[in-house]
């Protein structure tokens, strides 16, 4: 990935006083801060672009082949209905961690071909580990998603080691982190794929509540560099609001891209359709650290913490297939603009240019769709 010559070439860090507080002066970028420069292409049509990728993972030597897009492990998007829809596109669904082992068994009896496009999600408690072992024992799913909001804790690193020891032949996704050194730590501890992103999600309020975060594109670029040096992979988790953002994540070096909000509001998303004023239909979408989620699974928000997610009503969008065709079509088009015949080539063909505006907004208020 290359940036224009005016971009900072060094990592400038200033230390203030004896207290250890630092200020990093180097510019960090989000998807909104850049566009991808077009390049000469020999492709005649978007239909020539190959989006499928084949990975052999560092720890397991397991092979996975498909389109490297993952539905986030949230209540509303990590559903069996979403698996049936996305597996047709060879995309993955990270399942909600609150699904019981027997529900997996029942689903896979009827849909055995979907196992390759599912990830079992887990937290880090003893109960989570017990449930994870039960789900693995009863299914043929080979991908595990170890998910916490803060992947920097020593407890989480120890949990990744514990899961790797217990399941040496499974593909492990682990996160979330946003810096190279922690990406390396998780890979060396047993993760095959590191989840990258703190605070960029559409229903995440971590940045608002804590002041902690990292611009997503820079996090992707830096973590991908660290992971690839060790033979690992990353998944950009959060921050995508349009197909072009997926292209930027892949262009920045991400091996996979995970989405929640872009897949919310569909028939395959959990929850009832809500009919509002004027007959407008909506569906509920909420973060997994929101007040809604904590009331559902923990009886409420504990006194020692705050909610770091929000609950929204998103427009009802019908079947998810239409959205997937839009996303995949946008990706193919991005590849043709950069001359990448395969998604695998995207990062090698990407030059980002920093911009002050993404779109012409003159008719935004008059859009009919």
Distance CA 128, CA 163 (A): 11
For 116, counting Cβ atoms within 10 Å of its Cβ (0-12 exposed, 13-18 middle, 19+ buried), the class is middle
- Lookup: tokens for 366: 């008059």
Sign for the CA dihedral angle at 272, 276, 279, 280 comes to negative
Distance CA 120, CA 93 (A): 9
Distance CA 143, CA 167 (A): 10
Identify the CA nearest to 128 among candidates 73, 203, 53, 205. Answer: 73
Distance CA 354, CA 258 (A): 24
Distance CA 27, CA 236 (A): 19
- Lookup: tokens for 108: 């896979």
Residue pair 303/221 in contact (Cβ under 8 Å)? The answer is: no
Residue 351 falls in the annotated catalytic set: no
Identify the CA nearest to 233 among candidates 64, 80, 91. Answer: 64
DSSP 6: T
Residue 77 falls in the annotated catalytic set: no
Catalytic site residue from 91, 114, 145, 204:
204
Catalytic site residue from 206, 292, 323, 338:
206
Identify the CA nearest to 94 among candidates 146, 48, 52, 134. Answer: 146
Q: What strands lie across the sheet with 311-315, from one edge to the other?
A: 273-275, 281-286, 311-315
Measured CA distances, 228 to 141, 145, 193, 195, 348 (Å): 25, 19, 10, 14, 13
Residue 288 zone, left/alpha/beta (φ > 0; ψ -120 to 50; rest): alpha
Residues marked active site are found at: 204, 206
């Amino acid at each position: 990935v290359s940036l224009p010559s005016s971009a900072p070439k060094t990592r400038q860090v200033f230390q203030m006083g004896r207290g250890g507080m630092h200020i990093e002066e180097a510019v960090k970028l989000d998807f909104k801060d850049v566009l991808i420069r077009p390049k000469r292409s020999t492709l005649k049509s978007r239909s020539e672009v190959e989006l499928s990728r084949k990975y052999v993972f560092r720890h397991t030597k397991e092979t996975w082949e498909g389109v490297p897009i993952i539905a986030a492990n949230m209540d509303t998007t990590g559903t069996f209905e979403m698996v049936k829809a996305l597996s047709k596109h060879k995309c993955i669904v990270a399942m909600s961690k609150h699904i019981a082992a027997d529900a997996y068994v029942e689903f896979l009896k009827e849909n055995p071909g979907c196992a390759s496009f599912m990830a079992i999600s887990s937290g880090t408690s003893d109960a989570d580990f017990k449930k994870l072992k039960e789900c693995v024992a009863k299914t043929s799913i080979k991908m595990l998603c170890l998910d916490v909001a803060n992947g920097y804790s020593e407890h989480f690193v120890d949990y990744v080691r514990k899961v790797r020891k217990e399941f040496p032949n499974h593909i492990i996704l682990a996160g979330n982190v946003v810096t190279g050194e922690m990406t390396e730590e998780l890979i060396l501890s047993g993760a095959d794929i590191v989840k990258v992103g703190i605070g960029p999600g559409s229903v995440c309020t971590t940045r608002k509540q804590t002041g902690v975060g990292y611009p997503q594109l820079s996090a992707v670029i830096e973590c991908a560099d660290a992971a690839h040096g060790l033979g690992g992979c990353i998944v950009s988790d959060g921050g995508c609001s349009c197909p072009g953002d997926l292209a930027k994540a892949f262009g920045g070096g991400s091996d996979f891209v995970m989405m929640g909000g872009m897949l919310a509001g569909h028939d395959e998303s959990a929850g009832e359709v809500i009919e509002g004023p004027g007959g407008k239909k909506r569906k509920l979408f909420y973060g997994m650290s929101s007040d809604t989620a904590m009331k559902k699974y923990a009886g409420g928000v504990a006194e020692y913490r705050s909610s770091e997610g929000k609950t929204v009503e998103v427009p009802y969008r019908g079947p998810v297939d239409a959205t997937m065709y839009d996303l995949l079509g946008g990706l193919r088009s991005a590849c043709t603009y950069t001359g990448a015949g395969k998604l695998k080539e995207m990062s090698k063909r990407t030059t980002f240019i920093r911009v002050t505006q993404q779109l012409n907004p003159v008719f935004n208020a008059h859009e009919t769709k």
